[in-house]
Amino acid sequence: MPAMRSKWFGVVLVAALVAAGCSSDDGEGADDTAAAGVTTAETAPVNSAPATTVPATTAPAPTTAPPTTAPPTTAPPTTAAAPELELIGFGEYQVGATTITIDDPAGVRPLTVEVWFPIGDFDAIEAPVPHRYSFLPTAYYDSPNAVTATADAIGPGPFPLIVYSHGSGALRYIHSAYTEALASHGYVVVSADHTGNTSVERISGANASPEENAFNRPNDVRRLIDAFVDPAHPTAGAYAATVDPEQVVVTGHSLGGFTSIAMATGVTNEVGELAPDDRVDAIIPLAPAVGPTLTDELLASITVPLMVIVGTDDITTPVDPNVTRLWELSTVTPAYRIELVAGEHETFTDVCAYQETVPLREGVPQVVIDLIDQFAQEGCLDGDIDIARANELTVTYVLQFLDEVFAGGEPITAAAPDDVIFQSR
């Protein structure tokens, strides 16, 4: 049985550390009709015979109208109203988190990886401390939901594997409110820094080219899957031993959304060629950058279940053409398209929490604060959807989708709330 959360441990979904992001390097009601039948009464012919005078004292002969039989009426069929969407909060597992390194045999591209996992026995962890997401020694965020733990604390599994890909100019833990929530429901969630496309390179000006990132990112995800389905792996093996290798999902934000799609389509450019990864069972792009590298033919080739979530007010990767192309060209089922009303690009990150907390630390460089404020313009202003509400909706739809994909759950049919535009096929 999963361990329940201790009393000190909050269940409020909030965010994680620094510099988020995601500008794209790679590049969008049914009408009711009814036919009304009209019945027209016929007019009786006029009698032209002369009238007969009847004495006033003589009562006219009574006339009896023939009985009429009303045609039977059939009540129109009633259609049950769709149930309301039931929001899903933090799960029954407490969440452990740690940072490991996946070495590159060629020594060229080691991966710094964050791992979130369901804890089997929380009481076995001595003096648990909140997990810290650190960008710099003075710039950090202590998680309100996860504790630092090692692989010996993980539950018995088997657990599905979710690989998260951060956006351009972000970091592996940029959406910890999302990744932690998924882990709390019995998923092992892993995310690597995409070297050459993180906030570190954004600040230092050492960004890789768009072509390099378009190839390196899905290759990083492929390497993560290799490691976390291999119980013999030197650093990931202890986690892989609890992973179900037949249940693998890739999700990501912005250019990470591109990355998740590329895992299902493959990608080819002047840097290299990667085939689709047939170990991936579903993809969940968030505010994806669907640029020209993902050709019409590639989008039409998607064969795994798809859920795409985006904000209606996103100006970095707008619904049209990004989500529009993906939705219209892909024909896979099941597929879901979720638009959060008044959602923006950074709605799918923890930047608002960073803006509230990181500047309070002593010694945080101004360049870090400025970068956070820059990203916060797209999701943390008055009129934007509340971040906690957006995360709760995102987690709810994603978990329902994964239940359908992995556990034979019912398709999502709940009525969308007023702040959601919902499509399915």
Chain segment 90-111, per-residue pLDDT in tens = 999 999 999 999 999 888 999 9
Q: Residue 365 is part of a domain; what is its CATH number?
A: 3.40.50.1820
Segment 161-172 mean pLDDT: 97
Residue 263 has pLDDT above 90, yes or no: yes
Residue 369 has pLDDT above 50, yes or no: yes
Are the CB atoms for 414 and 80 separated by under 8 Å? no
What's the chain's average pLDDT? 86
Segment 167-193 mean pLDDT: 97
Segment 166-176 mean pLDDT: 97
Segment 292-312 mean pLDDT: 98
Higher pLDDT among residues 156 and 37, named by residue: 156
Higher pLDDT among residues 44 and 233, named by residue: 233
Does residue 9 sit within a domain?
no
Does residue 178 sit within a domain?
yes
pLDDT band for 24, please (50, 70, 90 cuts). very low
Does residue 44 sit within a domain?
no
Question: How far separated are the first and last CA of the chain, in Å rounded?
Answer: 35
pLDDT band for 76, please (50, 70, 90 cuts). low
Residue 33 has pLDDT above 90, yes or no: no
Q: For residue 271, what are the domain limits?
A: 95-424
Q: What is the pLDDT of residue 77?
A: 59
Residue 15 has pLDDT above 70, yes or no: no
**Torsion angle defined by CA atoms of residues 363, 365, 370 and 376, in that order, rounded to the nearest 10 degrees:** -60
- Which single residue is written with the structure tokens 């590049």? 27
> What proportion of the chain, given as a percentage, has pLDDT over 70?
81
Residue 353 has pLDDT above 70, yes or no: yes
Residue 74 has pLDDT above 90, yes or no: no
> What proportion of the chain, given as a percentage, has pLDDT over 90?
76
pLDDT band for 75, please (50, 70, 90 cuts). low
Residue 51 has pLDDT above 90, yes or no: no
Residue 174 corresponds to which tokens in the numbers above? 């940029």
pLDDT band for 7, please (50, 70, 90 cuts). very low
pLDDT band for 205, please (50, 70, 90 cuts). confident
Q: What is the pLDDT of residue 125?
A: 92
Does residue 90 sit within a domain?
no
Does residue 379 sit within a domain?
yes
Does residue 1 sit within a domain?
no
Chain segment 390-414, per-residue pLDDT in tens = 999 999 999 999 999 999 999 999 9
Is the alpha carbon torsion for 223, 228, 233, 239 positive or negative? positive
> How many domains, the chain?
1
Segment 226-246 mean pLDDT: 98
Q: What is the pLDDT of residue 78?
A: 57
Segment 334-361 mean pLDDT: 97
d(CA 23, CA 289): 8
Q: What is the pLDDT of residue 73?
A: 52
Does residue 86 sit within a domain?
no
What are 413-416's contacts with CB under 8 Å, separation 24+? 413/82, 413/83, 414/82, 414/83, 414/84, 414/85, 414/86, 415/81, 415/82, 415/83, 415/84, 415/85, 416/85
pLDDT band for 39, please (50, 70, 90 cuts). very low
Does residue 307 sit within a domain?
yes
β-strands 159-165, 243-253 pairing = parallel
